Structure 1
Amino acid sequence: MFIYTILGITLLISLITDVRKRKILNIVTLPAILIGFVYNTATLGLEGFLFSGKGFLAGAAFLLIPYILGGMGAGDVKLLAAIGALTGTMFTFYSFIYIALIGGFISVFLIMKNKGIWNSIKSFFFIMVFLRSSIGSILLNENKKSSISFPYGVAIVLGTLCEVIIGVMK
């Protein structure tokens, strides 16, 4: 129960700061990581340390490539790493599946809202035909200034809550 309390506090604060300031703060994620390692090591010994370590590495690894490609901030990576340090690899893996699905739904919704449904459908099929070739990009008149972004911490929080709820029901 203690771990889920720390997880809940970490998620709530991260959600608020990400929505308001578009930042997930180190002062929230780093203590959560430390608490995960200390608690799991104190309760399970070396096995607990490895449990947190594997979860931490898995959480960081899941979002590392999107971070490197500029699709999200380092705070998102550290938040999922904190979730891993607190809850372990399997919980983090299932949370990541929900996070990706929710993030995808939010992205599709925002694209359709900003570009219109008909333009979104037309663009999707056109891109599928030309497989994002340079011809497709020129004909669609794509530019980098029309990018759409949202605080990914929302998807991380909702996806993690889905795993908490579904994990309890298992």
Structure 2
Amino acid sequence: MDSVKAGVLGLLLVIAAWGDIKRHRIPNILILTGLVLAILLGAWQAGFPGLLSAGGGFALGLAAFLPFYLLRALGAGDVKLMAVVGGFLGPSGLPGAILGTFLAGGVMALALALHAGKLGQMLKNIKAMLTNGMIDVSLKQMPIMEAGPQSVGKLPYAVAIATGTLGFLVLRYIGWM
């Protein structure tokens, strides 16, 4: 990824994270802007293959996070933001960003639970979700997160997406990935 693409993606991620912290939402205009820029930059840099890479990355990012939206674990804005990340990184770069995002999200969730003094409740919630999910799968049903567990707090997941993606890009730039 060249510096122009990385800079544009970084700026979009910072704006999305800031908006998620302040307003608990990611504006659709930011998502649309990101999608258009990912497609234009991909086509500008590599022609038709770049366009295909942007489209494939967008679809893969959407597909990777859509199940979490269906399970009510993430908001629609988070799913669309990861799709935009996929548009910039393409299918080959997206798995590293997803892994970084999951790691950042886990650390953030743990920090939030510790700060709020709700680590025990968080562990109970995880146990309940895994147990209920395994039961649903064994009954050949779609696992659904119900309103049973007591929430530990609201996590602005755009921050995890930004941190994980930018962390992945830095590690790739310095040759560690």
Superposed displacement of residue 61, structure 1: 1.4
Residues 22, 121 of structure 1: alpha-carbon distance in 2 compared, 3 angstrom cutoff: closer
Equivalent residues in 2 for 1:11-90, closer than 5 Å: 11-90=13-92
Q: Which of the pair has more CA radius of gyration?
A: 1
- Rounded to whole Å, the distance in 2 between the matches of 1:64 and 1:48 is 24
Partners of 1:112 and 1:120 within 8 A in 2: no
> What whole-Å deviation, never above 9, does each CA across 1:96-137 have from its counterpart, x for those lacking one?
1011011112222323333455x469859xx49xx747xxxx
Pick the aligned partner of 1:160 from 140, 145, 165: 165
**Does the CA-based 8 Å contact 2:38-2:84 persist in structure 1?**
yes
Distance in 2 (CA, whole Å) between partners of 1:121 and 1:154 is 20
Counterpart of 1:43, as a letter, is Q
Q: Which moved more, 1:143-152 or 1:14-23?
A: 143-152
Identical-pair percentage = 28
Equivalent residue letter for 2:11: I
Query: 2:113 touches 2:122 (CA, 8 Å); kept in 1?
Result: no
- Pairs aligned (count): 158
Partner of 2:156: 151
Q: 1:155 to 1:122 in 2, by over 3 A?
A: closer
Structure with a larger share of its residues in helix: 1
Distance 1:25 1:8 in 2: 16
2:96 partner letter = Y
Stretches of structure 2 that go unaligned for 5 or more consecutive residues are: 133-146
Structure 1: stretches of 5+ with no match in the other structure: 134-141
Provide closer, same or farther for how the CA distance between residues 152 and 121 of structure 1 changes in structure 2, counting only shifts above 3 A: closer
Query: TM-score, with normalisation over the residues of structure 1?
Result: 0.81
Cα separation, 1, equivalents of 2:92 and 2:81: 16
Indicate if the aligned counterparts of 2:113 and 2:152 stay in contact, CA closer than 8 A.
Answer: no
Contact 1:58 1:93 in 2 (8 A): no
Query: RMSD over aligned Cα, in angstroms?
Result: 2.5
Q: 1:143 to 1:161 in 2, by over 3 A?
A: same
Any conservation in 1 of the 2:122–2:152 contact (CA below 8 Å)? no
Query: Which aligned segments of 4 or more residues in structure 1 are displaced greater than 6 angstroms?
Result: none
Q: 2:12 aligns with which of 10, 16, 21?
A: 10
Alpha-carbon shift at residue 31 of structure 1 (Å): 1.1
Q: Quickly say closer, same or farther: Cα 1:123–1:49, change in 2 above 3 A.
A: closer
